[in-house]
């Protein structure tokens, strides 16, 4: 059977056995089809850009949820968990890109196992987080009264911990078998004999448990939500609470759709390669790279979705960035400059331990203070 090998590929679902992540290739008898050197530079630039965007966006999302007490709602705690998973997932991209450029793994066996493990666990954590968020949306919209005891921040924290635990258990094969391969000096999964059976079984296992089954649960949740919303339209008017829930639900739906669009090509290529032998050429290599980098694009797209689809996140992002700019201006040590600054921006007050801001808040010119309705995100 032909063995796929993706550029920068470190995904658990990949059927990479004895191949090289450094080369975008398919490897059967030791030969490989790789990008030309110019293409390698392009892939490195794309990977680095995705890494910077993903790292910046997810760090900002994590900061605003932890920084502002009123952002610590149930839905936002799930988003926090997703942002942490996305950030850890994106952190491995520079190491994998380095291997892509050098055509070998220079970081040793320990880092190879760490990167492979983190990559695989966070891949599963992302889809499990979206599944939990979809179930939470179902409870909030369809069973708002019955689910009050379940939709609490403390319960959300416990569920987040369980998501990580399940992801770790599910990815034990990667933790056990990932290593630097002797022949090609590349970081990959070294399956025991018979390698073809292990590889095929793992592809089907990860695609089923890490994509299609969660997607089925998500679809069921939103079908029930749509049915509930349609039946509720017959009632006169919409309460503020219900409008808020619909906005939150719309954001989660769009996040799920983006996730599917970014991950579906990766799983399709893996499954198709089990049935058909794909040709070895630069076009196929480019398709492989596109499928892999698209999964990382999903991790840097989520913070953009938060900012565009949630008014609370948008205000929090603006406030966090405004505070950063304000601190930079105050470092000018100019009395005249500081006098002008205080005419437009109030001084930053101290914060109590639960994260609530006191009355003296930093405000950007023409910006309202951050006031987040608990009924929203």
pLDDT tier for residue 35 given thresholds of 50, 70 and 90: very low
* Residue range 3-309 in CATH 3.40.50.970: no
Q: In 10 A of CB 276, how many CB atoms? A: 8
CA distance 58 to 37: 31
Indicate the range of 38-47, 286-295, 339-348 predicted with least confidence: 339-348
Q: What sign does the CA torsion over 258, 261, 264, 266 have?
A: negative
Q: Mind listing the pLDDT tens digit for each residue in 356-377?
A: 444 444 445 444 444 444 444 4
Sign of CA dihedral 246, 58, 176, 162: negative
Please report which confidence band the pLDDT of residue 235 belongs to, taking 50, 70 and 90 as the band edges. Answer: low
Helix axes 153-170, 108-142, angle to 10 degrees: 140
68 cis-preceded (ω within 30 degrees of 0): no
Do residues 96 and 21 lie in contact, with contact meaning Cβ atoms separated by under 8 Å?
yes
Whole-number Å distance between alpha carbons of 253 and 248: 9
> How many C-beta atoms lie closer than 10 Å to residue 254's C-beta?
13
Condensed to tens digits (0 to 9), the pLDDT of residues 59-98 reads: 999 998 898 877 888 888 999 999 999 999 999 999 988 8
Q: Please state the domain extents for the chain.
A: 3-309
What is the rounded distance in angstroms from the CA atom of residue 79 to the CA atom of residue 310? 12
Average pLDDT of the residues in 311-315: 80
- Is the CB of residue 53 less than 8 Å from the CB of residue 293? no
Alpha carbons 202 and 354: distance in angstroms, whole number: 45
């Amino acid at each position: 059977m032909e063995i796929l090998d993706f550029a920068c590929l470190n995904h658990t679902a990949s059927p990479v056995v004895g191949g090289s992540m450094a080369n975008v290739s398919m490897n059967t008898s030791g030969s490989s089809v790789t990008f030309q050197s110019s293409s390698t530079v392009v892939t490195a630039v794309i990977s680095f850009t995705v890494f910077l965007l993903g790292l910046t966006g997810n760090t900002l999302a994590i900061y605003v949820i932890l920084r502002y007490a009123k952002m610590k709602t149930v839905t936002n705690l799930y988003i926090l968990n997703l942002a942490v998973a996305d950030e850890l997932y994106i952190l491995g991209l520079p190491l994998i890109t380095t291997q892509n450029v050098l055509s070998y793994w220079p970081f040793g066996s320990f880092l190879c196992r760490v990167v492979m493990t983190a990559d695989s666990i966070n891949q599963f954590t992302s889809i499990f987080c979206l599944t939990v968020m979809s179930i939470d949306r179902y409870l909030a919209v369809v069973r708002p009264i019955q689910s009050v005891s379940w939709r609490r921040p403390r319960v959300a924290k416990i569920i987040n911990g369980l998501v990580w635990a399940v992801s770790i258990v599910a990815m034990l094969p990667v933790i056990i078998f990932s290593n630097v391969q002797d022949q090609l000096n590349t970081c990959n999964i070294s399956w025991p004999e018979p390698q073809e059976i292990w590889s095929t079984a793992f592809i089907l296992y990860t695609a089923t448990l890490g994509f299609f089954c969660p997607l089925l649960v998500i679809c069921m949740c939103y079908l029930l939500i749509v049915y509930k919303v349609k039946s509720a339209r017959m009632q006169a008017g919409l309460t503020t609470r219900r409008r808020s829930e619909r906005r939150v639900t719309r954001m989660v739906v769009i996040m799920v759709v983006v996730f599917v669009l970014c991950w579906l090509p990766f799983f399709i290529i893996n499954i198709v390669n089990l049935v058909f032998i794909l040709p070895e050429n630069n076009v196929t290599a480019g398709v492989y790279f596109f499928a892999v980098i698209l999964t990382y694009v999903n991790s840097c797209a989520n913070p953009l979705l938060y900012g565009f689809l949630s008014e609370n996140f948008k205000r929090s992002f603006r406030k966090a960035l405004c505070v950063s700019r304000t601190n930079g201006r105050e470092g000018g040590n100019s009395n005249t400059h500081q006098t002008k600054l205080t005419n437009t921006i109030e001084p930053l007050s101290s914060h109590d331990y639960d994260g609530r801001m006191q009355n003296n808040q930093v405000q950007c010119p023409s910006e309202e203070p951050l006031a987040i309705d608990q009924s929203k995100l």
